[in-house]
Amino acid sequence: MADRRILARVRTLTAVAALAAVLAACGGAGSEPSTPVPGTGGTTAEATAEPSTTGSEQPTQWVVGADQRNPAEGTTGNVTVTGTTVVVGNPDAEKRLQIFMDFFCPHCATLHGVMDPDLVLWAGGDQVAVEYTIVDYLSPRTTHIYSARAANLLAYVGDTDPESYPAVLDALLENKPETTTEVVTDAQLLQIARDAGATLGEDATAALGELRYYMWVETGTREAAEAGVTGIPQVWVDGARVAGETHEETAAIAREEMNR
């Protein structure tokens, strides 16, 4: 059964979500991406319906379950779960690179691919902390709400099998839908995580179907917007944004800053 309190809150944001729905998906590397409205994650005009997502059906309504959870904070291997983010690499490193991304954003996937060799290198060392903030800016534009569902699944992985977090993150980006209406079932999402090496518990299907980590994702989304992350992707180094005219330039600037 859906949490009526959460859904009532969602209903108050319907008008804002309608505005977000006309915004472009995400911006290019050299320009300021379209600005999502803070607090619109998880809001659609149909948010008042009862749950309608199963493991084999396309989600048609935006429903948040009553059993909301946060990933357990702590360090496992080279993955550290914090209040609203996940750090890969040495969490106490002097250098910190923060990446803000939405799983349905094509530019986020492209930039991540460009930066991947560096991200892998930093993750295995002690000099750089790579901090991921997975936001949900784009769900109101889609029927598959991939942004929220993939973020929710990754939060579940961070809670139950944190060492597989980087691989699942990569896989969710690589397998993102290409259109706003493409069918993406819960079963497909769960298989993406398993194929990436995650060990999923018996509660994984329910955790995804009921978006049990949604409020954790939304909190991170809201904090990002309040910090000035009005478009995605964004890369920050030690608290300041770095950006080039292309994704390759952004990656090069970040690499230079990390090597200082």
Per-residue pLDDT of 25-55, as tens digits, reads: 374 333 343 333 333 333 322 222 223 343 4
Q: Parallel, antiparallel, or unpaired: how do β-strands 95-101 and 234-237 relate?
A: antiparallel
Q: What is the mean pLDDT of residues 11-30?
A: 36
Q: What is the mean pLDDT of residues 207-228?
A: 96
Give the residue from 86, 224, 94, 244 showing the smallest Cα distance to 167. Answer: 86
Confidence band, pLDDT 50/70/90 cuts, at residue 128? very high
Confidence band, pLDDT 50/70/90 cuts, at residue 260? confident
What is residue 156's predicted lDDT score, i.e. its pLDDT? 98
CATH at residue 74? 3.40.30.10
Per the prediction, the chain carries an average pLDDT of 82
What is residue 24's predicted lDDT score, i.e. its pLDDT? 42
Q: For 56-73, write each residue's pLDDT tens digit.
A: 455 445 678 899 999 999
Tell me phi and psi for residue 14, to 5 degrees: -60, -45
Report the SS3 class of residue 20: helix
CB atoms within 10 A of CB 240: 8
Interacting residues of 149 by C-beta distance below 8 A, sequence separation 6+? 59, 184, 186, 189, 208, 211
Q: What is the mean pLDDT of residues 64-91?
A: 96
Taking only Cα atoms into account, the Rg of the chain, rounded to an integer number of angstroms, comes to: 17
What is residue 63's predicted lDDT score, i.e. its pLDDT? 78
Residue 36 per-residue DSSP state: P
H or E, element range at 111: helix 106-123
Give the residue from 193, 168, 177, 171 showing the smallest Cα distance to 141. Answer: 177
Q: Total structural domains in the chain?
A: 1
User: Which residue reads 């059993």 in tokens?
Assistant: 67
Domain span including residue 96: 4-258
Q: What is the mean pLDDT of residues 206-212?
A: 96
- CA distances to 9, 28, 44, 89, 193 from 82, rounded to whole Å, are 26, 29, 29, 13, 21
H or E, element range at 130: strand 128-134
- CA distances to 17, 27, 231, 249 from 227, rounded to whole Å, are 20, 18, 11, 23
What is residue 168's predicted lDDT score, i.e. its pLDDT? 98
Distance CA 258, CA 235 (A): 12
In the chain the first and final C-alpha atoms are separated, in Å, by 53
Give the residue from 144, 78, 131 showing the smallest Cα distance to 239. Answer: 131
